[in-house]
Amino acid sequence: MRDLRSLLRGRRDGPAAGLHRSHRDAVRLWGTPWARFGLVLLVAGWALVPQFVTDDFWLSVLNYAGIAAVAALGLNLLTGYTGQISLGHAVFLGVGAYAAAQIGEGGDIPIVVWLPAAALIGGLVGAIIGPFALRLRGNYLVIVTLGLVFIAEHVFRNLKDITGGNTGTPVSASPSIGSFDVTDLSFAGQSYSREQGWFWLIWAIVALTALMTKNIVRTRPGRAIQAIRDRDLAAEVVGIEIGRHKIWVFAISSAFAAAAGALYGSYQEYVSPDEWNLFLSIQYIAIIIVGGVGTVFGTILGALFIGALPSVIEEYSDSIPGVAAKAGDSGISVYSLNQAIFGVLIVAFLLLEPRGLAAIWLRVKTYFRTWPFRY
Amino acid sequence: MTDQSPGGAPEPTATGVDDHEPLLALRDVTLRFGGVTALDGVSLEIAPGELHAVIGPNGAGKTSIFNCINGVYRPQVGSITFDGHELIGQRPARIARLGVARTFQNLGLFVALSVVDNLMLGRHHLMRTGFVSGALWWGRARREEIEHREAVERIVELLELEAHRHRPAGLLPYGLQKRLELGRALAMEPKLLLLDEPVAGMNLEETEDMARYLMQVRRELDLAMLLVEHEMHLVMDLADRVTALDFGRRLASGTPAEVQADEQVIQAYLGGAA
Amino acid sequence: MSARRPSDPTGGVAPDALPDDAHLEEEVEARAPSLPARLLELAATTPDAVALRQKHRGVWHETTWRGYAERTARIARGLADLGVGPGDRVAVHAENRIEWVLADLAIQGLGAMTVGVYPTCPPAEVEYLLSHSRATVLVAEDEEQVDKALEVRDGLPALRTIVVVDPRNVDLSDASLVTWQALEERGAAGTVDDLADRVAALDPESPATIVYTSGTTGPPKGALLSHRNLRAAGDAFAQAFPAGPRDEILSYLPLCHVAERVVSLIAALESAYVVNFGEGGEAFAQDLREVQPTFFVGVPRVWEKMHATVDVRMGDSSRLKRLVHRRLTAAGVRTARARMQGRVGPGDRVRSAVGELLLYRALRDRLGLRRVRMAASGAAPIAPQILEAFWAIGVPVREVYGQTENTAVGTAMPDGDVRIGTVGTSYPDSELRIADDGEILTRGPGTFLGYLDDEDATRATVDEDGWLHTGDVGTVDDDGFVRITDRKKDIIITAGGKNVSPSEIENRLKVSPYVREAIVVGDRRKYLVALIGIEQDTVGDWATRTGLAYTTYADLSRKPEVRELVDGVVAAANADLAQVETIKRFALLEKELDHEDGELTATQKVRRAAIEREFAATIESLYAGEGAS
């Protein structure tokens, strides 16, 4: 607050903002008053979105994108920061969704219980599977996690007591704590819609997971996984236990995915095994590639972009030539079109902008930060 | 290292380091890759605080010794004891935690990370923050970050890296990268430092700087060093003792002057050059 | 700055009477009579305000005025314990750091004299300074400086103790060595009151410090400056540059030089602003960007270097950025001229605002000058083009003129009436006039006590009427603005009998980012020639960009392409110069000039005689086969 005031007053004397007077200053995440000011502006601006976008469809698009961001942050820890490519991410969303369905059944259990519990279960499953998967590197890991998707689909279809089998299961876990229910908010005489309530909930969770990711990345475990990514032999020689770290990241990544799955289930109120397929995993790969491998902000951008894309295509399928809007129409289906678009996007970004949207953002930022110099 | 070994007192070292039990002892270490013998019954001892150099022509097995000591390779025969622990069969990370640090001939920096982060990684095994406390930040993670930043700043000061703290390691000039790697090894607070050709590829000025830093490190920090180096001036100026290798065998061992005068060593070098 | 009248508009005759002595005395009485007294005053009036900041291991540690006084008191007591008393000399051999100013004030507080030694001084020079000043205690920064002193200790019978600030790698078994920390502990009983008692006993007219002038000829001479001199300098400087407690500076020029002493200590105590000590060396640019001082003082070399940096880095930028830079700096120069006169019209305001938004602020930020509201250049003449370039981006650099012997109190450019090409006007309490032979003379409270053990030199410098002979030749205009022609002894008289000022021509050459040093030669010769040293950074960068491979400085200097580059610079300079002033031929120096090799003074000024001697053959070759075009 104090520096905001001095910022606005435009003081040009006294100690400069970038002057670290203790190591506490040096380790702050938003080190300068401008950075803090920008953050406040961004958060406040985003929180105001449902005030202006009240249309349920568009809010739902943003809500799905937010859920995707939570899971993608997990995948980016694993793939972007640790360098381990996994196609099994969808499985853990499924685990989370079913966990929420079980724990939150009846809708009386508060979200602060079922959501962390679902994450924890996802994390545990990840920790159990991790040691098998992570003994392998590179392409082998991709193939093993691919196998995981098929095994899990089989399990989801047959574990009828929990998953409801092929027909799926309703999820009655509700986003509420006691009588406080985000789907039925009213404040200062104004009441808000279900979609508006979910927006704030989901995006608060996005902010929280983003902050946690950022914190992991800038502390000991985060440095260690980046060291493993950059040069695993050297990492081992400085005393980093590679196996342990990989398993931990896999578990955390799975926990994030499970939390996203739980939110997804509760938001849709129904899930079926068809949703946790390879295509969903690929969608998450697309998010981090398009957004930016190894960046937190990029992941969120990628989730907004990729997460919103299918809904937008579906909404406007009528007006896109050659697309079948309804079953029975001629042309390719919306589903196939989505797949094709993700494929094209992944290839295009890998070729043209391997560091994703975040790199573009970073370049813009650098352009102004170094202006009028080049570097 | 307080207790004296009763029998077989090790030979006194050139520095006059007390003849305590050696910090590191390789005995008859043999390492084979298929039919190739990289090390052939090599024995070597390093006293606490000693700077021991290993010299020899290319392919003499110098780097193999390092890889055996820090657990990257597993020799088929022999023993390597360090500070009362048998090292053969241990994982590199465990050996690092016992107090063995190392630099690489071809640089082992984490190029995408900053100078400070590279140095902080040296302190990895001295820190405790895990994924959960890291994610929460407030409390232990923050306290530990601050505490170890302070420790890292000592290295920054010692190796004069002040102007480069936040540059990605990969963007530093070569000489500075070598210096940073030394810094990362020192940040581990090791008892033994393995230096694999610290001045390889450096120009004269950078070499002199590195020699100065190494001498400073010796004076300020209490650690033993095992140095593999081609640059003979550096070896002769810095080392307390020298071991010469050729084709995985030990040719000679002694003070720099003794080794330099050794017939076999001269032969190996001249022969190797011809 | 409120209206300040030029002291002597006639520029020739001295006022009929000396300033009223009694009145002056009274005024000085009301003020703290010495720097330590002023420190105690500030410690009493604003004890908790920040006085100093020292960057250590990545963090800027703050010291308040109270802390400043307390530490000074402890050091003073510690030094007293070592036997330092009134009249003794204590040398300080260190880079800029908090211990420097603490030692200085403690020494002065004891009635002893501080002798600053340049960190770059080789052992022989250290020996000369310490033996000439008969220093009994040396405060040495670290291993390097301790080694220098120990190397020459046999020639220093007076030296009893060496205080080591940073004892890493120093063998402390030598009984004459004591660490700074031990000294401070030893003086732990020294309270501020204790210091106050000692300070009260000081005679303001007694010497407080000996500043060795690294003369461009002969051995250094020790100028004795009294407590009163130092306080007068603070007063004068604060009038020209009114700063306050929220202002910040970075201490980075050598503290043994009177300029940085004024900035980091004398004026800092006067105006109570915050002095920052950074990590220095390679990290200087970063220190500057972190501190973002509001007040910045540089020597021409510093300004030239920054100017060159901008030039080179702009060269690497995109076309758009270069275009914006070119347009806006051109506009900036126009506005700057109006601003120098204090006449800023609405058009200027709009231009400045646009420039500020698009360029100036950003450029200042990159240089570390974003918040600079006052700036000064001194110690040597600077090219007008460089000054204008900084004014253009909103750094109002005003020239000051002074020398050790008048405690840097000579002239200063008045705020709001900046006339480029002059060094401004004299200070209110001082006088300035031009002698018959054109030499500039000054008189006032800054005039020093004399040279240590050198009556003859003192008499040759200060005449019976108290006028200080500066050794500079110049003129004063009707408004009292002083224009310096050159050092008296440097004036070149060509074979044709024309007087030429080499430094003006040299500065014209040094405007180019590619030229680091230029020495114009031509006394009693038919034409002028120049020895030119290239700037390795910029020329190296240029070479890299044009795909020219090189190994060393010498190799780079020998390249015909580089010669061609410098040829262009010389031709451009010649175009601005009168016929007799043009450079007919030049040679590129194949080594970088150096203090340790005796080519530069410790303040990086060229030692003309030494260079003409060292490069005599080169110079002769430039005159071989005279008549070349």
What is the b/e burial string over B131-154, where b = at least 16 CB atoms within 10 angstroms of the residue's CB? Answer: bebbbbbeebbbebbeebbebbbb
Report yes or no: B72 at the A interface, CB cutoff 8 Å. Answer: yes
The model's pTM: 0.89
Chain C residues closer than 8 Å to A9 by CB = none
Decide if B188 and A239 are in contact by the 8 Å CB cutoff. Answer: yes
* Residues of C with Cβ-Cβ distance to B157 under 8 angstroms: 57
Q: Give the C-alpha separation, C6 to C466, whole Å.
A: 20
How close, in Å, is residue A373 to chain C by CA atoms?
6
Considering only CB atoms, B162 lies closest to which of C168, C169, C279, namely C279
Distances (CA, A) of C515 to B14, B125, C216, C546, C548: 53, 51, 21, 18, 18
B58 pLDDT more than 80: no
Domains of chain B, with CATH numbers?
1-99+191-274 (3.40.50.300), 112-189 (no CATH)
Residues of chain B contacting residue A236, judged by C-beta atoms under 8 Å apart:
91-93, 96
> Would you state the pLDDT for residue A7?
53
C-alpha distance from A372 to closest chain C C-alpha (Å): 6
Tell me how long chain A is: 375
Domains of chain C, with CATH numbers? 35-202+244-291 (3.40.50.12780), 295-488 (3.40.50.12780), 491-622 (3.30.300.30)
Tell how far CA A321 is from the center of its chain.
32
Which pLDDT does position B19 carry in this prediction? Answer: 53
Q: Which amino acid is at B61?
A: G
Task: Please count the other Cβ atoms lying within 10 Å of the Cβ belonging to residue B243.
Answer: 25
Q: Which two tokens stand for residue C581?
A: 């002033």
**Nearest residue in chain C measured CA to CA from B116:** C58
Tell me which chain A residues have a C-beta less than 8 angstroms from the C-beta of B115.
none
Q: Tell whether A240 is within 8 A of chain B (Cβ).
A: yes
Q: What is the pLDDT of residue C588?
A: 95
Sequence-distant (6+) residues with CB within 8 A of C364 are C370, C371, C372, C393, C394, C395
Q: What is the pLDDT of residues C498-540, one digit of tens each?
A: 888 898 899 999 999 999 999 999 988 989 999 999 998 889 8
Report the range of poorest mean pLDDT among A271-275, B251-255, C11-15, C351-355: C11-15
State yes or no: cis peptide before A372, omega within 30 of 0: yes
Number of domains observed in the structure of chain A: 1
Which partners does chain A have (≥3 C-beta pairs < 8 Å)?
B, C
Q: Measure CA B268 to chain center.
A: 25
B165: nearest CA partner in chain C: C58
Q: What distance in Å separates the CA atoms of residue C384 and residue C375, rounded to the nearest whole number?
A: 15
Domain assignment present for A42: no
Q: Which residues on chain B are in Cβ contact (under 8 Å) with C59?
A: 153
Measured in angstroms, the CA of C184 and the nearest CA of chain B are apart by: 23
Tokens representing C214?
């690294």
pLDDT value of position C213: 87
- Residues in chain A closer than 8 A to C373 (CB atoms): 12-13
Q: Which of C59, C359, C373 sits opposite A372 (nearest CB)?
A: C359
The shortest C-alpha distance from B180 to chain A (Å) reads: 14
DSSP H helical ranges for C292-355: 300-315, 319-340, 346-355
For an interface test with C, which of A9, A23, A367, A373 has the most C Cβ atoms less than 10 Å from its Cβ?
Answer: A373
Q: Which amino acid is at C544?
A: T
Neighbours of chain C (3+ CB pairs under 8 A): A, B
Residues 6 or more apart whose CB falls under 8 angstroms from that of A361 comprise A292, A297, A298, A301
pLDDT digits over A139-184, tens only?
788 899 999 999 999 999 999 999 999 999 999 999 988 888 888 8
- The answer to whether the Cβ–Cβ distance between A16 and C246 falls below 8 Å is no
Best mutation target, A6, A13, A366, A374, to test chain C (most C CBs within 10 A): A13
Give the nearest partner residue to B142 out of A27, A238, A249, using CB atoms: A27
What was the pLDDT predicted at C216? Answer: 61
Predicted pLDDT at A325:
66
pLDDT tens-place string over residues B17-27: 445 689 999 99
C58 contact B CB<8A: yes
Chain B contact for A222 (CB, 8 A cutoff): yes
Whether residue A185 is predicted with pLDDT greater than 90 in this model: the reply is: no
What is residue B106's DSSP assignment? T
Is ipTM > 0.85 here? Answer: yes
- 8 Å CB contact of A237 and B96: yes
Q: Is residue A169 part of a domain?
A: yes
Q: Do A234 and B131 touch (CB under 8 A)?
A: no
Chain A interface includes B168 (CB < 8 A)? no
Q: Give the pair of three-digit tokens for residue C587.
A: 């040679």
Q: Which residues of B touch A230 (CB under 8 A)?
A: 110-113
In chain A, residues with a C-beta closer than 8 Å to the C-beta of B117 are 223, 226
CB pairs under 8 A between A and C: 67
Alpha-carbon distance C26 to C33, whole Å? 11
Q: Which residues of chain C have a CB within 8 Å of the CB of B150?
A: 57
How many C-beta neighbours within 10 Å does residue A58 have?
17
Look at residues B197, B218, B190, B194 and name the one whose alpha carbon lies nearest to residue B96. Answer: B190
A contact residues 249-308, partner B, Cβ 8 Å cutoff: 249, 252
Question: Among candidates C389, C387, C477, which has minimal Cα distance to C432?
Answer: C477
Q: List B242's β-bridge partners, or say none.
A: B53, B254
Task: Give the domain CATH number at A97.
Answer: 1.10.3470
What is the tens place of the pLDDT at every residue in B116-148? 999 999 999 999 999 999 999 999 999 999 999
Subunits with 3+ C-beta pairs closer than 8 A to B: A, C
Contacts of C50 in chain A (CB under 8 A): 15
Using an 8 Å Cβ cutoff, are C152 and C129 in contact?
no
Q: Which residues of B touch C281 (CB under 8 A)?
A: 160, 162-163
Inspect the interface and report whether the beta carbons of A21 and C325 lie closer than 8 Å: no
Full domain range(s) for residue A110: 60-369
Q: What percent of chain A has pLDDT over 90?
A: 59
Measured between beta carbons, the chain B residues lying within 8 angstroms of A239 are: 93, 96-97, 124-125, 188
Q: Which residue of A has its CA nearest to B149?
A: A23
CA distance, residue C625 to nearest chain B CA (Å): 41
In the numeric block, which tokens belong to residue C322? 């270069």
**End-to-end CA gap in chain A:** 32
Amino acid at C336: A
Cα–Cα distance between C43 and C65 in angstroms, integer? Answer: 5
Write down the mean pLDDT value for chain B: 88
B-interface mutation test, from A238, A250, A252, most B Cβ less than 10 A away: A238
Partners of residue C168 in chain B, C-beta under 8 Å: 220
Residue A84 domain-assigned (yes or no): yes
Whether pLDDT at A311 is above 90: no
Q: What is the DSSP string of C93-134?
A: E-SS-HHHHHHHHHHHHTT-EEEEE-TT--HHHHHHHHHHHT
Element (H, E) at B61: none
User: Are A375 and C316 within 8 A, CB to CB?
Assistant: yes
Distance CA A142, CA B193 (A): 38
A45 falls within a domain: no
Residues of chain C with pLDDT below 70 are 1-29, 215-217, 625-629
Task: Give how far Cα B177 sits from Cα of A36, B103, B181, C403, Å.
Answer: 33, 11, 6, 45
Interface test with chain C among B152, B160, B162, B172, by most C beta carbons within 10 Å: B162
* Mean pLDDT, rounded, for B171-183: 94
Contact criterion met (CB below 8 Å) for C91 and C256? no
Q: What is the CA radius of gyration of chain C?
A: 25
Å between B108 CA and nearest CA of chain A = 5
Question: What are the residues facing C600 on neighbouring strands?
Answer: C606
The whole-angstrom separation of Cα C299 and Cα C399 is 10
Interface of A with C (CB under 8 A): 12-16, 18-23, 25-26, 370-375
Considering only residues A190 and C278, tell me which one the structure prediction assigns the higher pLDDT: C278
Q: Structure tokens of C24?
A: 């002056």
- Note the pLDDT of residue C218: 72
The token pair at A275 is 């949703």
Kindly report the nearest CA distance between residue C368 and chain B, in angstroms.
15
